[in-house]
Amino acid sequence: MNRINTFAGLLCIALLCTAPVVGAEPVFSAIEEYNNAVDLAVAGEYDAALVAVDATIAADPDFTLALATKSGILSAMGRYEEALAVADATVASNPDMVYGYVARAEALINLDRSEEAIAAAEDALDRDPENLEAMILLGTAYGNLGMYEEELAVSEDALALYPDDSRAQANRFYAEFMLSGETPEPTPATLSLLPAMVGFVILGLSWTRK
Protein backbone atom coordinates (compact mmCIF):
# COMPACT_ATOMS: atom_id res chain seq x y z
CA MET A 1 0.00 0.00 0.00
CA ASN A 2 1.31 3.43 -0.92
CA ARG A 3 0.87 5.57 2.18
CA ILE A 4 1.20 8.90 0.36
CA ASN A 5 -1.73 8.01 -1.89
CA THR A 6 -3.73 7.07 1.21
CA PHE A 7 -3.52 10.73 2.12
CA ALA A 8 -4.27 12.04 -1.39
CA GLY A 9 -4.99 15.74 -1.22
CA LEU A 10 -3.55 16.16 2.29
CA LEU A 11 -0.21 17.58 1.20
CA CYS A 12 2.02 19.25 3.76
CA ILE A 13 4.20 21.92 2.10
CA ALA A 14 7.34 22.56 4.14
CA LEU A 15 9.09 25.91 3.61
CA LEU A 16 12.84 25.42 3.80
CA CYS A 17 14.59 28.76 4.32
CA THR A 18 18.29 29.15 3.56
CA ALA A 19 18.54 26.02 1.42
CA PRO A 20 22.12 25.75 0.15
CA VAL A 21 22.87 26.60 -3.48
CA VAL A 22 25.65 24.78 -5.33
CA GLY A 23 27.22 26.71 -8.17
CA ALA A 24 26.96 30.29 -9.30
CA GLU A 25 24.57 32.64 -7.53
CA PRO A 26 21.39 33.17 -9.56
CA VAL A 27 20.73 36.52 -11.20
CA PHE A 28 18.58 38.85 -9.10
CA SER A 29 15.58 38.78 -11.45
CA ALA A 30 15.50 35.00 -11.12
CA ILE A 31 15.67 35.28 -7.34
CA GLU A 32 12.67 37.62 -7.30
CA GLU A 33 10.64 35.27 -9.48
CA TYR A 34 11.74 32.31 -7.37
CA ASN A 35 10.67 33.89 -4.09
CA ASN A 36 7.32 34.72 -5.70
CA ALA A 37 6.93 31.09 -6.79
CA VAL A 38 7.65 29.88 -3.26
CA ASP A 39 5.14 32.31 -1.72
CA LEU A 40 2.46 31.18 -4.17
CA ALA A 41 3.17 27.50 -3.57
CA VAL A 42 3.03 27.88 0.20
CA ALA A 43 -0.35 29.62 -0.26
CA GLY A 44 -1.55 26.63 -2.28
CA GLU A 45 -1.75 28.57 -5.54
CA TYR A 46 0.07 25.93 -7.52
CA ASP A 47 -0.91 26.99 -11.04
CA ALA A 48 0.43 30.49 -10.42
CA ALA A 49 3.48 29.08 -8.65
CA LEU A 50 4.25 26.93 -11.68
CA VAL A 51 4.11 30.00 -13.95
CA ALA A 52 6.43 31.88 -11.59
CA VAL A 53 8.96 29.06 -11.30
CA ASP A 54 8.99 28.69 -15.09
CA ALA A 55 9.77 32.42 -15.29
CA THR A 56 12.60 31.82 -12.82
CA ILE A 57 14.10 29.10 -15.00
CA ALA A 58 13.71 31.27 -18.12
CA ALA A 59 15.59 34.08 -16.37
CA ASP A 60 18.39 31.76 -15.24
CA PRO A 61 18.47 28.26 -16.77
CA ASP A 62 21.35 27.30 -14.44
CA PHE A 63 19.28 27.91 -11.29
CA THR A 64 18.87 24.21 -10.52
CA LEU A 65 17.19 24.75 -7.16
CA ALA A 66 14.31 26.28 -9.12
CA LEU A 67 14.12 23.08 -11.18
CA ALA A 68 13.90 21.00 -8.00
CA THR A 69 11.20 23.31 -6.70
CA LYS A 70 9.26 22.97 -9.96
CA SER A 71 9.30 19.21 -9.43
CA GLY A 72 7.92 19.77 -5.93
CA ILE A 73 5.13 21.99 -7.22
CA LEU A 74 4.20 19.40 -9.84
CA SER A 75 4.09 16.69 -7.15
CA ALA A 76 1.83 18.90 -5.04
CA MET A 77 -0.46 19.17 -8.09
CA GLY A 78 -0.54 15.38 -8.51
CA ARG A 79 1.42 15.53 -11.78
CA TYR A 80 3.91 12.89 -10.71
CA GLU A 81 5.26 11.76 -14.08
CA GLU A 82 6.10 15.37 -14.95
CA ALA A 83 7.56 15.88 -11.47
CA LEU A 84 9.85 12.89 -12.00
CA ALA A 85 10.99 14.16 -15.41
CA VAL A 86 11.87 17.57 -13.92
CA ALA A 87 13.66 15.93 -10.97
CA ASP A 88 15.70 13.86 -13.43
CA ALA A 89 16.56 17.04 -15.35
CA THR A 90 17.67 18.66 -12.08
CA VAL A 91 20.03 15.78 -11.27
CA ALA A 92 21.37 15.71 -14.83
CA SER A 93 22.02 19.46 -14.72
CA ASN A 94 23.64 19.42 -11.28
CA PRO A 95 24.53 16.02 -9.74
CA ASP A 96 25.39 17.77 -6.45
CA MET A 97 21.91 19.26 -6.01
CA VAL A 98 20.59 17.31 -3.01
CA TYR A 99 17.01 18.41 -3.58
CA GLY A 100 17.02 16.98 -7.08
CA TYR A 101 17.28 13.55 -5.47
CA VAL A 102 14.71 14.46 -2.80
CA ALA A 103 12.32 15.55 -5.57
CA ARG A 104 12.99 12.33 -7.43
CA ALA A 105 12.28 10.22 -4.34
CA GLU A 106 9.03 12.09 -3.70
CA ALA A 107 7.77 11.61 -7.24
CA LEU A 108 8.74 7.92 -7.28
CA ILE A 109 6.89 7.21 -4.03
CA ASN A 110 3.78 8.84 -5.43
CA LEU A 111 4.17 6.66 -8.54
CA ASP A 112 4.33 3.55 -6.31
CA ARG A 113 7.95 2.93 -7.28
CA SER A 114 9.31 2.68 -3.76
CA GLU A 115 12.41 0.59 -4.56
CA GLU A 116 13.64 3.34 -6.88
CA ALA A 117 12.63 5.94 -4.29
CA ILE A 118 14.92 4.27 -1.75
CA ALA A 119 17.85 4.65 -4.13
CA ALA A 120 17.01 8.32 -4.76
CA ALA A 121 16.67 9.10 -1.05
CA GLU A 122 19.98 7.34 -0.37
CA ASP A 123 21.59 9.44 -3.12
CA ALA A 124 20.34 12.55 -1.30
CA LEU A 125 21.68 11.31 2.04
CA ASP A 126 25.05 10.52 0.46
CA ARG A 127 25.31 14.23 -0.27
CA ASP A 128 23.68 15.48 2.93
CA PRO A 129 23.52 12.82 5.67
CA GLU A 130 21.31 15.00 7.87
CA ASN A 131 18.70 15.90 5.26
CA LEU A 132 15.38 15.45 7.06
CA GLU A 133 13.18 15.26 3.95
CA ALA A 134 15.34 12.47 2.51
CA MET A 135 15.10 10.56 5.80
CA ILE A 136 11.30 10.92 5.86
CA LEU A 137 10.99 9.74 2.27
CA LEU A 138 13.41 6.85 2.82
CA GLY A 139 11.44 5.68 5.84
CA THR A 140 8.15 5.92 3.97
CA ALA A 141 9.54 3.99 0.99
CA TYR A 142 10.74 1.25 3.33
CA GLY A 143 7.30 1.11 4.93
CA ASN A 144 5.59 0.88 1.56
CA LEU A 145 7.67 -2.23 0.85
CA GLY A 146 6.92 -3.81 4.21
CA MET A 147 10.50 -3.20 5.43
CA TYR A 148 9.35 -2.01 8.84
CA GLU A 149 12.60 -2.64 10.72
CA GLU A 150 14.44 -0.46 8.21
CA GLU A 151 11.73 2.20 8.44
CA LEU A 152 12.00 2.16 12.22
CA ALA A 153 15.80 2.51 12.09
CA VAL A 154 15.79 5.49 9.72
CA SER A 155 12.98 7.11 11.70
CA GLU A 156 15.04 6.78 14.88
CA ASP A 157 17.98 8.39 13.06
CA ALA A 158 15.76 11.26 11.94
CA LEU A 159 14.36 11.78 15.43
CA ALA A 160 17.85 11.79 16.94
CA LEU A 161 18.55 14.86 14.81
CA TYR A 162 15.03 16.36 14.71
CA PRO A 163 13.19 15.10 17.82
CA ASP A 164 10.10 17.27 17.28
CA ASP A 165 9.39 16.34 13.66
CA SER A 166 5.86 14.95 13.51
CA ARG A 167 6.44 13.07 10.23
CA ALA A 168 9.41 11.16 11.62
CA GLN A 169 7.36 10.43 14.74
CA ALA A 170 4.49 9.15 12.56
CA ASN A 171 6.84 6.95 10.51
CA ARG A 172 8.27 5.48 13.71
CA PHE A 173 4.81 4.87 15.15
CA TYR A 174 3.63 3.20 11.95
CA ALA A 175 6.70 0.93 11.82
CA GLU A 176 6.33 -0.01 15.49
CA PHE A 177 2.64 -0.74 14.98
CA MET A 178 3.24 -2.94 11.97
CA LEU A 179 6.03 -4.81 13.76
CA SER A 180 3.75 -5.39 16.75
CA GLY A 181 1.54 -7.74 14.73
CA GLU A 182 -1.65 -6.02 15.87
CA THR A 183 -4.61 -5.84 13.48
CA PRO A 184 -6.22 -2.40 13.15
CA GLU A 185 -9.98 -2.05 13.22
CA PRO A 186 -11.47 -1.25 9.76
CA THR A 187 -12.54 2.26 10.71
CA PRO A 188 -11.44 5.73 9.57
CA ALA A 189 -9.55 6.04 12.86
CA THR A 190 -6.87 3.71 11.54
CA LEU A 191 -5.72 6.42 9.13
CA SER A 192 -4.12 8.18 12.07
CA LEU A 193 -1.57 5.36 12.11
CA LEU A 194 -0.19 6.47 8.77
CA PRO A 195 2.20 9.38 8.38
CA ALA A 196 0.87 12.65 7.01
CA MET A 197 3.63 12.78 4.43
CA VAL A 198 5.11 15.75 2.68
CA GLY A 199 3.86 16.39 -0.81
CA PHE A 200 7.49 17.39 -1.21
CA VAL A 201 9.49 20.32 0.01
CA ILE A 202 8.82 23.65 -1.65
CA LEU A 203 12.31 25.02 -1.32
CA GLY A 204 12.46 28.62 -0.13
CA LEU A 205 15.47 30.88 -0.04
CA SER A 206 16.03 33.98 2.01
CA TRP A 207 17.76 36.43 -0.33
CA THR A 208 18.78 40.07 0.03
CA ARG A 209 20.15 42.41 -2.58
CA LYS A 210 23.88 42.93 -2.08
Every domain of the chain and the residues it spans: 13-203
For the domain covering 13-203, report its CATH number: 1.25.40.10
- Of 16-20, 30-34, 42-46, 142-146, which gets the smallest average pLDDT? 16-20
b/e sequence 72-96, b meaning 16+ C-beta within 10 Å: bbbbbbebbebbbebbbbbbebbee
Mean pLDDT of the residues in the chain = 80
pLDDT of residue 188: 35
Q: What is the mean pLDDT of residues 186-200?
A: 35
What is the arithmetic mean of pLDDT over 61-83? 93
Section 56-62 average pLDDT: 91
6-10, 20-24, 48-52, 185-189: least confident range:
6-10
> Are 125 and 134 in contact, with CB atoms under 8 Å apart?
yes
The pLDDT tens digits for 94-152 are 999 999 999 999 999 999 999 999 999 999 999 999 999 999 999 999 999 999 999 99
204 or 71, higher pLDDT:
71
For residue 26, the model assigns a pLDDT of 57
**How far is Cα 54 from Cα 37, in angstroms, rounded to an integer?**
9
Instruction: Compute CA distances 33 → 19, 24, 183, whole Å.
Output: 16, 17, 49
Q: What is residue 29's predicted lDDT score, i.e. its pLDDT? A: 73
Whether residue 13 is predicted with pLDDT greater than 90 in this model: the reply is: no
pTM confidence score: 0.80
Percent of the chain scoring above 90 in pLDDT: 63
The pLDDT of residue 28 is above 80? no
pLDDT reading at 14 higher than 90: no
Give the residue-averaged pLDDT of 154-183: 93
